[in-house]
Amino acid sequence: CFLASTANAKEHKLESWYLYFAIGYADLTYPEGIDATVEALQKQDGVSHASLDLDLLGVYWPLKNRKTLLGVNLNGGGDRFEAGPVSLQLNQLQISFSTMHFLTDMIGKGLFLRGDVGFGSLNIDVSAGSSLSLNESSEAGLGLTFGGGYSFPVSSGTRIILNTNYSVKRIEGESFGKFNISVGGLF
């Protein structure tokens, strides 16, 4: 059905600005101390684990070449571990200047490359029910993202985007990474 609707989509038009959102899977990496804790939790029986990547909000403007978008994007990736009432949430956040360059004849159609540069941070939230709660955030560091994907126009104003990206962040002298695969919408 998806391919049929893509083939029948009206020729999409170039917008004066775009909103972008995406959701997907994240594989996060951490410095040695945090990584040892994450690996121990992943091996432990009775501990559930979920990883998620979100492009929470991107706002982009097209260049006159009709192939490139420039804008700002807020991205987050998280690991959540739960065992009964105890939970650990590790979030990598990045707010960036972002660009998407389409290798075809128009924005929102076909293969594209993506690059982001901005500020990255880490947030750790530990909760043991109502009796204990700890929330710590790092200072801001440098965040870089690079990747690409494929975009399908599904109507004159909507595009579905498949992404794969890698992010690296340098926060408080430590290196953090995130590989993600996601599906999004460009409106």
The amino acid that residue 159 corresponds to is: R
What token pair was written down for 13?
């038009």
Does residue 9 surpass a pLDDT of 70? no
Residues 118-138 have pLDDT tens digits of: 999 999 999 987 778 899 999
CA distance 24 to 181: 6
Residues 56-109 have pLDDT tens digits of: 999 999 999 999 999 999 999 999 999 999 999 999 999 999 999 999 999 999
Residues 141-168 have pLDDT tens digits of: 999 999 999 999 998 889 999 999 999 9
DSSP string, 81-137: EEETTEEEEEEEEEEEEEEEEESSSSTTSEEEEEEEEEEEEEEEEEEETTS-EEEEE
